[in-house]
Amino acid sequence: MIKKELCKISSQKEIAADIFELTVQGEFVSQINSPGQFVHIRVTNGSDPLLRRPISISSFDKKQKKMTMIYRMEGKGTSMLAQLRPGMEIDILGPLGNGFSIDEVSRGETALLVGGGIGVPPLFELSNQLVDKGVKVIHVLGFQTEEAVFYEQEFLNNGETYVTTVDGTYGRKGFVTDVMKDLQFDCIYTCGPTPMLKAIEQNYSDKKLFLSLEERMGCGIGACFACVCKRADDLAGVSYKKVCSDGPVFRAGEVLI
């Protein structure tokens, strides 16, 4: 059930260049159903900026009612969010969207988790839950440069982890797809920029593949149609799915990206 709640900030810190880790405590955390869901945050009590900011849920603990989010500071809204400190309260709407299903892979199988940039955070809770289920996890994390890298050790604690950077300043130089071709796995979960998702979908159409899309959102609950994408099975091209409420996670081939 979606709830709107004033949540208390437990901690906030910069973990990479302009990348912040924000942990809050709130009753609504008990309503989170799956890894890959997100929340809509109101960053100010005023009207500027007017719209809430969608932020991915990186991890959560239902017993302690704590949730951690990771976001990039890049605009007015997220810059204001980065100024908030522990003890302060923020207005959160959530949990929103449909996340990753861990039922798609069985104990003893291998899941490949591929993240690009700010698409990395929602894969962390997924990794935690898959490990708890007895699934082997392999992570491939792509970033632009060394100063943008985060959560490498956290993923390493769960399993095999590879890091790529476009400029080669850390890990392997190149793209996540350069590493993927040398790995063996049963299914793929991925989140990141559209070009990365397209490349993975084109190259691994024979695999069980789930993609989490990144789109600009207005309401976050499917009312404003600001984040629609075309259905792949609609030949007329007039049928759409809403990333915020039908997604953000889709099966490969379900929507056009």
Query: What percent of the chain is modeled with pLDDT above 70?
Result: 97
Q: Where in the chain is the domain with CATH 2.40.30.10?
A: 3-96
Q: Confirm if 174 and 196 have CB atoms less than 8 A apart.
A: no
Mean pLDDT, range 47-53, rounded to an integer: 78
Residues 6+ apart with CB under 8 A from 68: 21, 22, 23, 57, 58, 59, 60
Does pLDDT of 8 surpass 90? yes
Q: Confirm if 212 and 36 have CB atoms less than 8 A apart.
A: yes
Choose the CATH number for 3-96 among 2.40.30.10, 3.20.20.140, 3.40.50.150, 3.30.750.210. 2.40.30.10
| Secondary element (H or E) of residue 122 | helix 122-133
pLDDT given at position 165: 98
pLDDT given at position 64: 95
Where do we find the tokens 């208390």? 8
pLDDT given at position 145: 98
Q: Where in the chain is the domain with CATH 3.40.50.80?
A: 102-212
Does pLDDT of 132 surpass 90? yes
pLDDT band of 237, cuts 50, 70, 90: low
pLDDT band of 182, cuts 50, 70, 90: very high
Which is it for strands 110-116 and 187-191: parallel, antiparallel or unpaired? Answer: parallel
pLDDT band of 221, cuts 50, 70, 90: confident
pLDDT band of 235, cuts 50, 70, 90: low
Does pLDDT of 231 surpass 90? no
Does pLDDT of 87 surpass 80? yes
Q: What is d(CA 202, CA 204) in angstroms, rounded to the nearest whole number?
A: 6
CATH topology of domain 102-212: Rossmann fold (3.40.50)
160 forms bridges with which residues in the sheet? Answer: 138
pLDDT given at position 238: 67
